[in-house]
Structure formats: C-alpha cells, structure tokens
Structure 1
Amino acid sequence: MSTQTKIIIGGVAVGFLTLFVFPWWVTALIILGVIAAPLAGYLMLDPSQRKRVRAQSRKRLNG
C-alpha cells in the first residue's frame, strides 16, 4: 500500500471520528477547509507558476 493511500485512509478515518465528536456542520467545515486550502493556494499562483506545478506533477508520474 502506498504512502498516499495510507494518508487518504487516515484522513477518512479522522473525518468519521469528527462526526461523532463534533456536530455535523463543524465536521463539514473542517472537511471543506482541508479541501479549500490547497485549492485556494493553487488558484493564487500566476499562470506561469501553475504551468510549472503541472509540469512537475507530470514529471513525477512519468518517472
């Protein structure tokens, strides 16, 4: 099992645990925040920086 898969499984487990500890709307805000933070960071990049990030991820996939 890859490291990324373990992280995803752990995140899902933590998400379910927060459902039992906090009200559902707090859990929804936490999950949205975790998704929105990297997305907002990516959208704040210049087009040339986004191109460099995409090229870097493609390079990782190929090699």
Structure 2
Amino acid sequence: MSKRVMIAAGGVVVGLILIPLIGFLPALLVLIGLPVIGYLMLDRSQRRRLRHIGRRELR
C-alpha cells in the first residue's frame, strides 16, 4: 500500500472510532478541524509554497 492510502485508511479508522465515543458532529469537526488548524499554523511563505507545488512533489 502507498503512504497516501495508509493515511486515508487511518483517518477512516479514527473517524469510525470517534463517532460512537463522542457523537457524529464532534467527530466530524475533529476530522475536518485538525488539518485546517495545521494549515493555519504554517507561515505565510510555507502556505505559499504548499499551494504552488504539485501534490506529487510533497513527498
């Protein structure tokens, strides 16, 4: 399996574990909110670099 597939599968597993524990909407907020918070923590130059490079170059 590729690294990208393993990360996606891990996200699905975490989501399925969180739903019964904390409910659907809080789990959805966690799964969407964490990547958004991570993006907002980047510097302006890091965000610009992330937007301009292709997804294949992120490795």
- TM-score above 0.5: yes
Matched residue count: 56
Report % sequence identity: 25
1:19-30 → structure 2 map (5 Å cutoff): 19-30=19-30
Larger Rg: 1
Q: State the shift of 1:13 in Å.
A: 1.3
Aligned to 2:49: 52
CA RMSD after TM alignment = 2.5
Unaligned runs of 5+ in 1: none
1:1-63 → structure 2 map (5 Å cutoff): 1-42=1-42, 45-46=43-44, 49=45, 50-55=47-52, 57-58=53-54, 60=57
Q: State the shift of 1:41 in Å.
A: 2.6
Unaligned runs of 5+ in 2: none
CA distance in 1, matches of 2:32, 2:49: 26
| TM-score computed with the length of structure 2 as normaliser | 0.61
